[in-house]
Amino acid sequence: MTAAPLQETRFRLSEQQARELAETYGTPLYVVDEAHFRQRIRTYCDGFRAVAPTGELSFATKANSTVALIKIAYQEGCSIDVASEGEFRAALMAGVPASACHLHGNNKQIGELETAIEAGIGMIVLDNFEEIECIAKFAGHGTKFVIRLAPGVDPVTHAKISTGQADTKFGFNIMDGSGERALLRAIELGLPVIGFHCHVGSQLLDPEAQISGGELIAKFAAEMKVRHGFETTYLNVGGGLGVRYTDGDVPMSHADYCREIVVAIDKALADTGLNPKLAQEPGRSLIGESGVTLYRVGSVKIVPAKEIGTRTYVAVDGGLSDNPRPALYGSKYTVERVARKRPDGTGSGGDRTYTVSGKHCETDKLFGDVQLPADLAAGDLLQVLCTGAYNSSMASNYNRYPRPATALIFRDGSHTLIQRRDTYEEMLAREILPKELA
C-alpha cells in the first residue's frame, strides 16, 4: 500500500504576496502570517487540553521575541516564557502583565532578578544554588518559584540544542542529589516553591526524550512528597516538539505529542495523591512554520569543484547575519523560487542543484544542494520556509549589515511592518570615537 502523502503544514507566500511584500518593504524580509500563527497555537492548545484540561501553554519568546508576536501569543491564551530582562521588557511592551511571565536563565543577574520581582513577575525558574540564596532577599513579593531539574535524558537532536542530559549547564541534577538539596534549601529560606521544570532539548521529531523527562520529574515529585511532605502543584515539561524544515522532517501532531507525554506523567503520578497543573513551553513548534524569509538573487556563479566537477553558487542579499542556524547547527531548510515562471511567461526548463550562499565575509553557505529552476537568475525572489523561529531572534549586524524588517500578514490579507529594518545611524549610534584619537 502506498503511504499517504504528508499534509503540508508550513506557511508559504503566493507569488503575488511575495512580489508585493518585496516591493513594499525590500529584502531580505521576514514574513509571518497571523492566521497561521494563531491556528498553530490553538491546535497545540486543543491537543494539550484534551488530555490535561487545566494545562498551561507558555510561549517561549527565545524563538521569536518580536513584540507583536508576543502580543498574539498572549491573546491566544499563552503565558509568556522569557529568558532575559530584554525578553521580559518586550513582553511588557506587548501589554502582557508581569504576572503572566515566567523567567528562565542559568545565570540570571541581580539586576534582572530585581527588575522582574519588583515588576511582579509571576514565576521564576530556579537554576542554581547561588540564585536561590540571592532570591531569598526578595521573597514576599508574590512571585512563585519552580526548580529546574536536569533529568539525565539525552535526546536525539543536535548537541547544541540538547539540554536535559546530566552534563548540562541548566538546572539541578536529579541523580547526584542536587535537585533534592535545592528544594530543601529553597523551603528553608521561605521561598514559595510550587513544583518542578525540565526541558530536554529542541527540534524533537518524536516524544521519547520528552516522555522520559516528564516521567523522571514526576517520579521526583512523588519522592519529595514521601521524603519531605512536599506537595507539588505545578510540573512544566518544557517544549521541544520539532517542525518541518524539510520534507524529510516528520514531526508528530501536537495532539499525539501531548497525549503521549501526559499519559506518561499521569502514570508516574498514579496513587501518589498528587495532581499538579501541567505546563509546556513551546516556541519553535508554534511560530517556526508560520514564517518565511524572502531573499533576492544577486548573482549565479559556476565554479570548479572536486569530485562533482562544478558547483553553482547562488548569492542572495542576506546570509549569516539573518539566519545563523546553518552555520551553528548545519540546519537545512526548504528553498523555493517564488514563481516557476517569470512575469514574461518563460518557463524554468527543469531544475538543477545549487548552493545558496550569503554575502558575508565567511563561507556563509546558507543552503547546500537545493533544487531550484535551471534558469534561476539575478533579480529572482527566493522564499525560505519555516523561518519563524530562531531567525529574527538570532539576527546580528555582522559585517555591519542592517537586520531585516519583519512584516505581518493580517487575517484579511493586508500587511504591515511589525519590526522595521535597522538604519545605519542606529547601528553606529553606540560607537564612541575618543577625542584622544582625533
What's this model's pTM, rounded to 2 decimal places? 0.93
Secondary structure of residue 382 in the 3-state scheme: strand
pLDDT score for 173 = 92
What are residue 284's DSSP bridge partners?
none
Question: Which positions are catalytic?
Answer: 361
301: DSSP letter: E
pLDDT score for 167 = 67
Residue 160 has pLDDT above 70, yes or no: no
Residue with cell 569543484: 305
Residue 285 has pLDDT above 50, yes or no: yes
d(CA 285, CA 257): 11
Q: Is the peptide bond before 28 cis (omega within 30 degrees of 0)?
A: yes
d(CA 399, CA 360): 7
Residue 177 has pLDDT above 70, yes or no: yes
| pLDDT: which is higher, 350 or 303 | 303
Total number of residues shown for the chain: 438
pLDDT in tens, 367-407: 999 999 999 999 999 999 999 999 999 999 999 999 999 99
pLDDT in tens, 57-99: 999 999 999 999 999 999 999 999 999 999 999 999 999 999 9
Nearest by Cα to 157 from 198, 212, 200, 199: 200
Instruction: Check: CB of residue 70 under 8 Å from CB of residue 319.
Output: no
Enumerate residues 6+ apart whose C-beta is below 8 A from 235. 195, 196, 197, 214, 217, 218, 221, 265, 276, 277, 278, 279
pLDDT score for 91 = 98
Q: Copy the grid coordinates of residue 300.
A: 549565479
Residue 301 has pLDDT above 90, yes or no: yes
Lowest mean pLDDT among 52-56, 161-165, 222-226: 161-165
d(CA 245, CA 322): 17
Count of CB atoms within 10 A of residue 332's CB? 16
Q: What is the mean pLDDT of residues 118-142?
A: 90
Nearest by Cα to 290 from 6, 27, 30, 33: 33
CA distances from 91 to 73, 74, 241, 324 (A): 10, 9, 23, 24
| pLDDT: which is higher, 165 or 250 | 250
pLDDT in tens, 220-250: 999 999 999 999 999 999 988 999 999 999 9
Q: What is the mean pLDDT of residues 273-280?
A: 97
d(CA 280, CA 302): 48
d(CA 316, CA 298): 5
| Domains of the chain, each with CATH number or no CATH | 34-287 (3.20.20.10), 289-425 (2.40.37.10)
d(CA 44, CA 155): 21
Residue 5 has pLDDT above 60, yes or no: no
Residue 192 has pLDDT above 50, yes or no: yes
d(CA 385, CA 301): 24
Q: What b/e sequence results for 366-404 when a residue is b if at least 16 CB atoms lie within 10 Å of its CB, and e otherwise? A: bbeebebbebbeeebbbbbbbbbbbbbbbbeebeebbbb
pLDDT score for 141 = 73
176: DSSP letter: T
Residue 162 has pLDDT above 60, yes or no: no
d(CA 58, CA 386): 20
Instruction: Check: CB of residue 388 under 8 Å from CB of residue 291.
Output: yes
Enumerate residues 6+ apart whose C-beta is below 8 A from 66. 32, 90, 392, 393, 406, 418, 419
pLDDT score for 350 = 83
Residue with cell 518542578: 196
Summary mean pLDDT of the chain: 92
Q: What is the mean pLDDT of residues 110-130?
A: 95
Nearest by Cα to 214 from 196, 192, 193, 241: 196
| pLDDT: which is higher, 92 or 159 | 92
Q: How confident is the model at residue 153 (pLDDT cuts 50, 70, 90)?
A: low
pLDDT score for 327 = 92
Q: How confident is the model at residue 346 (pLDDT cuts 50, 70, 90)?
A: low
